[in-house]
Structure 1
Amino acid sequence: MDSIKNLNWRYATKKFDNNKILTESKINILKESFRLTATSYGLQPLKMVVISNKTLQEKLQAATYNQKQIGTASHVLVLCIEKTIDTSYINKIQDLTKEIRNTPDTILEPYRNFLIDMFEKKSTAEIATWATNQVYLALGNLLTVCAQENIDACPMEGFESKKYNDILKLNQKGLQATLVLPIGYRATDDFFADLKKVRRPLNEVVLEIT
């Protein structure tokens, strides 16, 4: 039941204590949790930018409609999609699979060719939508791990992606900012910390078929 207790404890933190900084070990847990996130076809079309520079956080806050979570957080995680998922990218992932698992070519090659053919037929917009869906998987995973580790967080879609891309020079890295997750420790005077969690009743959100 600790998992349920921790999930009840978490909330979208609106005000962080900017004097409390996450340890390197905590950040490393989140990095590894991000890396281990499940993704469609195992292609991992995403990267996470970890920011702890306060001057940079202030610039990003201005590009997040001045929401103060960005400036007061211990760290800001920017979840990005890879802008190019092509044959070269797929080959790189499949080669890694072969290296790690020693998968025979007789098994790997048909799957490699299937992926290449499928993604060649997708438009740039379709690939971006698919990749964005994977970022949301990563966000859910990170929020759960944050709850388990008693790390406060606030998932955010409300930011200007283009400005983030410019500030962090993401275009040069082939990335596009998709979601933002400021993390740290809640301020003692955050009004939202003591509000009861509002969720639909269990019998309205879970259907059991026997």
Structure 2
Amino acid sequence: MKPVPDEVVLRQLHWRYATKKFDPTRKIAAEDWRSLEQALVRSPSSFGLQPWKFFVVTDPDLKATLKTASWNQSQITDASHLVVFAIKKNLGAADVDRYLARIAEVRSVPLESLDGFKKMLLGSLSRPVEEVNAWATRQLYIALGFFLSAAAMLGIDACPMEGFQPEQYDAILGLTEMGYGATVLATAGYRADDDPYVKLPKVRFKPEDVVVHLNG
């Protein structure tokens, strides 16, 4: 596999920003969206357990309803796609069994050969529910970062968003009944020409201020 040149990666990472104003007339092409969905599907997680679901919203009426639970931020309705990143709440034995069955299927191994791994997973999930949900939330942010980076590589604008009311999202989308909880959002599409944030220099600390090399 030929790697993406360093200059391309750095160029796209510099190009991206948290888009505050999207062009509502521009939509993400189906082929590009399939690639972004694959980025979500292929996101890494601890143990590979994938304690999440990604709810994709493109319906204008539903986005308008969700906007009222998002402090009326325009990205919700103007972006081509809205992704609701949701954790699987109350993870337990059924989730472990589902994951192990998938491992056995994909890797063509006997299910019983995974008994040791199963015991380890169940032990990790035996912690208090609040701790497990917090762990699942941390995994979800890995997927969010994966999504934002993939969007940048494709030349698609995106904005991570925590400014919304999770309980209202859960109610509107019926997530509670499914056992999930809205945790963070990402809108994706294309920047508006008059977004004032486009021309603002990106403010980051110098590498030496945030990266520490420990050479022993």
Q: Structure 2-normalised TM-score? A: 0.93
Q: Cα deviations across residues 152-203 of structure 1 (Å, max 9, x unaligned)?
A: 0110011000110111111122111001101100000000011100000011
Q: Deviations over 1:90-120 (max 9, x none)?
A: 0110121112112355641111112113312
The one-letter code matched in structure 2 to 1:18 is P
In the TM superposition, 1:58-69 aligns within 5 A as 58-69=64-75
Kindly indicate whether the alpha-carbon contact (under 8 Å) linking 2:87 and 2:180 is maintained by their aligned counterparts in 1.
yes
- 1: CA distance, partners of 2:137 / 2:158: 20
Percent identity between matched residues is: 36
Deviation at 1:208, TM superposition (A): 1.7
Moved more, 82-91 or 96-105: 96-105
For the residues of structure 2 that align with 1:59 and 1:21, how far apart are their CA atoms?
A: 20
Aligned counterpart for 2:208 among listed residues 183, 203, 207 = 203
Give the 5 Å matches for 1:96-175.
96-104=102-110, 107-120=113-126, 122-175=127-180
Aligned mates of 1:81, 1:118 — CA distance in 2: 17
**Matched residues in 1 for 2:179 and 2:32: separation?**
28
Gaps of 5+ in 2: 1-6
Q: What is the aligned partner in structure 1 of residue 84 from structure 2?
A: 78
**Contact 2:101 2:111 (8 Å CA) reproduced:** no
Distance in 2 (alpha carbons) for counterparts of 1:180 and 1:18? 18
RMSD, aligned α-carbons: 1.2
Specify whether residues 106 and 53 from structure 1 end up closer, same or farther in structure 2 by C-alpha distance, changes over 3 A only: closer
Give the counterpart of 1:93 among 94, 99, 116.
Answer: 99
- 1: distance between equivalents of 2:112 and 2:186? 42
Equivalents in 1 of 2:112, 2:97: separation in Å?
Answer: 15
Matches within 5 A, 1:50-65: 50-65=56-71
2:9 aligned residue? 3
Runs of 4 or more, structure 1, over 2 Å off, are 102-107
